[in-house]
Structure 1
Amino acid sequence: MRKQDAIAWDVWGAARPGRRERNATGATTWFNWTQWPDHGPDEKLLGDLSGMRVLDLGCGSGGNLAHLAALGAEATGVDVSPVQVAKARQQLPHLDVRQQTAEEFLAADTHGFGVVYSVFGAAWFADPAELLPLVHARLTPGGIYAFSHNPPALKGCYGPQASQMQPPEKDAEPLYVKRWDYEPDTWAELLRRAGFTAVTAEVIAPPLGRRTGTLLVRGTRAS
C-alpha cells in the first residue's frame, strides 16, 4: 500500500458524516449493503451469524461491524485509514479493529472466518487477482464471501480505474486511489476462478428517484 492511499482514505473518512443514531425502523444498529439509507437487503445474506467469526474488509467507522457483533458474531474489522480506525475504536471500543490493508491482514492472519465481507470497501479497491485467493484461503469450509459497491460508471471502462479524493484545503492537489470495475458476470467468473462456488452477482435497483444501483456479489468456499 502506498502511503498516499492511507492519506486519501483519511481525507475521505474525515469528510464522512457519522451514522444516524437510528434508522427508519428505529433500530440503533443495522446492516446496509447499498449506498442508499434503509434500502436493499440486510445481513441475512450472510446466514446465521451467532458465534460466527466475521471479517469486514474496509470497515470504516464500524457501523455494519457493530450490527453483526450485536447479533452475536465475533467481529473483526480492518481499514487502511487511521482516521476511520480511530473513529471505530472510539465509538465501538468492544470491537477488534486493525489498521492494515486487507491483503496484509489476510496474508498474516492464520485464523479461519465463516464470513468475509466488504461494503464499498477493500473488495472494490484491491486487485482481485491478489485479494480473492487470500479471502478464499482464510474462509472456513462453507464460508461466505460477499461484497458490494457501485457498478461500472461507464460502459466499456473495466478493470483498474482511478477514484479521486479532494482534500478540503484550498488549492490542494487531488489524491487518487485505484478501484476495480467489472460487470456482474465478470465478477462472478473471477470468483469461480478463485475457487468459490454458488456464486451470484447482481445489481440492486436504486430507490425511486435515484439513478445508480448497487453491485452485490456473493460466493461460498466449498465444504
Structure 2
Amino acid sequence: MTVSDKRSVAWDAYAQGKPQRRTTNARGEKTWFNWTQHPDHGPGAELLSVEPGDVVLDLGCGGGGNLAHLASLGMRAVGVDLSAVQLAKAAGRWSGVAGMELHQVDALAFLARSEPFDAVYSVFGAAYFTDPRVLLPAVRDRLRPGGVFALSQYPAVEGCYGCQASFIPRGPGRDPAVVRRWDHPPGTWRELFRENGFTDVTANVLPAPDTGARRVGTLLVRGVRAAHP
C-alpha cells in the first residue's frame, strides 16, 4: 500500500463519522463559505477575489460545502480529495449544483498536471497536511498572475512548529491513524508565501466567537500570485 493509499484509508475512516453540513446557515442560506471551524463566523468567499466564470480549486474539498457555494455563484468549482467517502457525500449532497467537479487524487499530483486557476484555497484541507515548501510553489505555478491562494487551519501551539503528528479517529475500538501536518506561527507563513512568489500576504489568527464552548481560533493566510515570481 502506497503512502497515498494509507492516507486515503485514514481520511475515509475519518469521513465515516463526520456529519454533513447543516441544511441552512443562520441567515437561511442553503450554500455558504466558511473558513473556520465555528458556524456562522468569519469572512466568506470574498477573500478569493473571484467572480462568475472564474475557475477555482479546493484542495481537500471534503463534503463540498464551500465548493458548492462557489459553483452556485457562477464559478467553475473544482475539488480534489483523497477520501472516496467524502467525495461520495459531496456528490450526493450537491448533485443539483451545476459547475462542480470532484476528483479523488492527491493534491500535489493534481497540481502537477492541472490547468491554470483564478484562485486556489484549502480550508482545514490538503494545505494543512502538505509541506508548504513543496505545496506553495506547486500552487503558484497553477495560479494565474493576480490569483489568490488562501488557507485556513488551527493555529500552531506555541513552540510546536514545523512537521507535527496528527491523530485521525477511526471509530470505536480502533487506534487512530497518524498523518503529518505543518504548523507555523503567522510570521513564518508570511515569509513562506513571500519566498514562493506571493505578494500582499496576510496571516492572522481569527479569534473564536464570543459564544460557544470551543475557544480555539483559526489561522487564516492569504496571498496573491505575483506577476513575476
Q: TM-score band (shorter)?
A: over 0.9
1:40-119 equivalences in 2 (<5 Å): 40-93=42-95, 94=98, 95-109=100-114, 111-119=115-123
1:130 equivalent in structure 2:
134
Displaced runs of 4 or more, over 3 A: none
Q: Which amino acid aligns with 2:149?
A: Y
TM-score (norm 2): 0.93
- Per-residue CA deviation, residues 93-136 of structure 1 (Å, 9 max, x unaligned), is 34210001110100121x11000000000111111111111100
- Per-residue CA deviation, residues 159-215 of structure 1 (Å, 9 max, x unaligned), is 011111122142x22211110000001011011111111111000010114421100
Please, which of 146, 168, 171 is the counterpart of residue 168 of structure 1?
Answer: 171
2:181 equivalent in structure 1:
179
User: What is the SS of the residue equivalent to 1:133?
Assistant: helix
In the TM superposition, residue 91 of structure 1 has moved relative to its aligned partner by 2.2
- d(CA) in 2 for partners of 1:15 and 1:9? 10
- Per-residue CA deviation, residues 47-67 of structure 1 (Å, 9 max, x unaligned), is 132111000000001000000
1:28 equivalent in structure 2:
30
Maintained 8 Å contact 2:59/2:121:
yes
- d(CA) in 1 for partners of 2:131 and 2:170? 25
Correspondence 1:120 to 2:124: yes
TM-score (norm 1): 0.95
Correspondence 1:147 to 2:147: no
User: What is the SS of the residue equivalent to 1:6?
Assistant: helix
Identity of aligned residues (%): 53
- d(CA) in 1 for partners of 2:178 and 2:126? 15
Q: 5+ unaligned residues in a row in structure 1: which ranges? A: none
- Per-residue CA deviation, residues 29-59 of structure 1 (Å, 9 max, x unaligned), is 0000000000011111111321110000000
In the TM superposition, residue 81 of structure 1 has moved relative to its aligned partner by 0.6
User: What is the SS of the residue equivalent to 2:141?
Assistant: helix
User: What is the SS of the residue equivalent to 2:103?
Assistant: strand
Maintained 8 Å contact 2:202/2:221:
yes
In the TM superposition, residue 85 of structure 1 has moved relative to its aligned partner by 1.1
Please, which of 204, 211, 216 is the counterpart of residue 220 of structure 2?
Answer: 216
Maintained 8 Å contact 1:62/1:92:
yes
RMSD: 1.1
- d(CA) in 2 for partners of 1:3 and 1:57? 17
